[in-house]
């Protein structure tokens, strides 16, 4: 019960801090993409700091995040992995559902960071638009983050990897850095409880361009799922009952 109360207090203050930090740094962010990055990374680091002492949740990034143009294909389990991956990269932008642009604070910053919105309800057109938007934005080099399963997937659940990641890999001709995680064990998709432990996102060895789409997708899924399973076991996940 005590951990649950601590978790609720942590969540409340975390969401109060979001508009405070976002509005405070908005004048800088409006005139400089550097300011937008500083605001988003500053907020994320604030969340990591408060999580560490309020609920005993530490955040750890492993592996080597790429520092040039790259496609980042990540496992997605909760809001926490978004912040951890973003903060670890020098110039990250997300492929995301277009509804996020309508959210206060988050939507405005997503625009300033040149994130790529797609309509997930129109799958084929969404992929075409995704590629077109990415190509149009290549004058701004950086790391393009895509969640290959399309949504948050709780520990113990299986969901297929969507073809959009393979399309981008082919069209962009860039290296792809897979990312595994265990954050859903400690910061679940649903519910208010935040568990003590070490949340990890791990950048795996890059997949160089040149593979066929099928070979790329198979390797991506194998690498990310096998490493995520190991990280979740490290965090104490033993099966569906722990999710």
Instruction: Please indicate, yes or no, if residue 220 is contained in any of the structural domains.
Output: yes
Task: Name which residue leads in pLDDT, 67 or 239.
Answer: 67
CA atoms within 13 A on the CB side of 57: 28
Instruction: Please indicate, yes or no, if residue 85 is contained in any of the structural domains.
Output: yes
Which of 173, 199, 174, 216 has its CA nearest to residue 80? 199
Task: Name which residue leads in pLDDT, 17 or 97.
Answer: 17
pLDDT at residue 122, as a whole number = 64
**Residue 58 near residue 188 (C-beta atoms within 8 A):** no
Buried b (16+ CB within 10 A) or exposed e, 207-224: beeebeeeebbeebbebb
CATH number of the domain enclosing 137: 3.40.1130.10
Instruction: Please indicate, yes or no, if residue 6 is contained in any of the structural domains.
Output: no
Asked if pLDDT for residue 88 goes beyond 60, the answer is yes
Instruction: Please indicate, yes or no, if residue 209 is contained in any of the structural domains.
Output: yes
| Interval 216-237: pLDDT, tens | 999 999 999 999 999 999 999 9
Of all residues in the chain, the percent with pLDDT exceeding 70 is 90
What is the total count of domains within the chain?
A: 1
CA 200 to chain centre: 12
Distance CA 98, CA 195 (A): 31
| Interval 92-121: pLDDT, tens | 988 888 788 888 778 888 888 878 777 766
Instruction: Please indicate, yes or no, if residue 20 is contained in any of the structural domains.
Output: no
Distance CA 135, CA 124 (A): 17
pLDDT at residue 137, as a whole number = 58
**Partners of 143 in the β-ladder:** 70, 92
Instruction: Please indicate, yes or no, if residue 18 is contained in any of the structural domains.
Output: no
Instruction: Please indicate, yes or no, if residue 147 is contained in any of the structural domains.
Output: yes
- Mean per-residue pLDDT, 52-61: 98
pLDDT at residue 66, as a whole number = 94
Domain that residue 224 falls in: 58-242
pLDDT at residue 242, as a whole number = 42
Task: Name which residue leads in pLDDT, 228 or 242.
Answer: 228
Instruction: Please indicate, yes or no, if residue 39 is contained in any of the structural domains.
Output: no
Tokens standing for residue 156? 């113990």
Cα Rg of the chain (Å, integer): 18
Asked if pLDDT for residue 241 goes beyond 60, the answer is no
pLDDT at residue 129, as a whole number = 67
Q: Over the chain, what is the mean pLDDT?
A: 89
Task: Name which residue leads in pLDDT, 148 or 113.
Answer: 148
Q: pTM of the full predicted structure?
A: 0.90
């Amino acid at each position: 019960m005590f951990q649950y109360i601590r978790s609720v207090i942590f969540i409340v203050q975390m969401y109060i801090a979001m508009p405070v930090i976002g509005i405070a740094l908005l004048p800088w962010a409006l005139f400089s993409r550097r300011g937008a990055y500083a605001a988003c990374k500053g907020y994320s680091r604030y969340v990591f700091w408060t999580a560490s002492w309020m609920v005993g949740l530490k955040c750890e990034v492993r592996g080597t995040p790429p520092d040039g143009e790259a496609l980042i294909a990540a496992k997605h389990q909760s809001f926490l992995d978004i912040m951890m991956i973003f903060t670890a990269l020098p110039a990250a932008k997300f492929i995301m559902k277009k509804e996020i642009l309508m959210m206060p604070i988050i939507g405005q910053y997503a625009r300033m960071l040149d994130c790529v919105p797609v309509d997930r309800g129109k799958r084929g057109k969404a992929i075409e638009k995704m590629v077109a938007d990415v190509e149009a934005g290549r004058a701004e080099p950086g790391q393009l983050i895509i969640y290959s399963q399309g949504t948050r997937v709780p520990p113990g659940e299986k969901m297929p990897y969507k073809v959009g990641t393979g399309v981008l890999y082919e069209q962009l001709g860039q290296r792809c850095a897979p990312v595994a995680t265990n954050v859903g064990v400690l910061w679940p998709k649903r519910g208010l409880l935040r568990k003590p432990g070490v949340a990890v996102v791990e950048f795996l060895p890059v997949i160089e361009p040149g593979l066929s789409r099928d070979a790329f997708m198979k390797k991506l899924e194998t690498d990310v799922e096998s490493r995520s399973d190991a990280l979740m076991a490290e965090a104490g996940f033993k099966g569906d009952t722990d999710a």
